[in-house]
Amino acid sequence: MFYLLRKSFYVKPKLLFKYIFYALLTVIFTSICILVVMRRTIYTTEALENLVSESEIRAVQSAIVESWWIPVVILLLVIGIQSLIRFHKIVGPIYALEKIISMIKGGYVGGHITLRRGDELKDLASEVENMSNALKNYVKKDRSIIAEISAELDNIAKLSNPSEIKNRLSEVKNKLSKITSDFHINE
């Protein structure tokens, strides 16, 4: 049986920083676009031209730019933390599944995959776990057939009647055909 618990917070640091970088870059780009649109709107609105002077419009624009950084920094922090949490809820299970698949490839089948509460991809983890347990059952069944064949061959070796040996070998051949019969090979 395998149980895999992550021991490292940064399972895929390159991917983590790339993911967070793109999220923060999106916030910065969006914030700059909003600032440009706000400044342009204030400067080009005809209704404001009749009510206030150009110097007052520039003063309003300046005040907006000065206070604009506060929500941008708050957004960067909130979205950065949120991205980090979302990243771990998705990539943590992917990391665990990669390790489990590697173990199965190495011949270790059967067991349980433990994910944290709130992790994504639980359905996929369940399917991988079911696949591993099914493989374990196939291996057990085939090993049982092999043990029967081995015992049968030992008994055949003690026989002296050729027709009896031929009949028993035919039975062994039939049992051999059952080994790996549960698998279908795609080519």
Which tokens is 114 given? 């433990």
Tell me how far apart the alpha carbons of residues 68 and 89 are, in angstroms, rounded to a whole number: 32
Q: Percentage of the chain surpassing pLDDT 70?
A: 90
Average pLDDT, the chain: 84
Which tokens is 152 given? 């049968």
Residue appearing with tokens 């676009």: 33
Residue 53 vs residue 102, higher pLDDT: 102
Decide if 122 contacts 115 (C-beta within 8 A): yes
Decide if 19 contacts 83 (C-beta within 8 A): yes
Q: What is the pLDDT of residues 85-144, one digit of tens each?
A: 888 888 888 888 888 899 888 888 887 888 888 888 889 998 999 999 999 999 999 999
Maximum separation of any 2 CA atoms in the chain, in Å: 118
pLDDT at 1 over 50: no
Decide if 133 contacts 163 (C-beta within 8 A): no
How far is residue 133 from each of residues 27, 56, 122, 125, measured CA to CA in Å?
A: 45, 74, 16, 12
Q: What is the pLDDT of residues 2-44, one digit of tens each?
A: 555 555 566 778 888 888 899 999 999 999 998 888 877 777 7
Ordered DSSP codes for the chain: --------S-SSHHHHHHHHHHHHHHHHHHHHHHHHHHHHHHHH-HHHHHHS-HHHHHHHHHHHHHHHHHHHHHHHHHHHHHHHHHHHHHHHHHHHHHHHHHHHHTT---------TT-S-HHHHHHHHHHHHHHHHHHHHHHHHHHHHHHHHHHHHT---HHHHHHHHHHHHHHHHHTTTT-----
The domain limits of the chain are 1-111, 121-182
Q: What is the pLDDT of residues 146-155, one digit of tens each?
A: 999 999 988 8
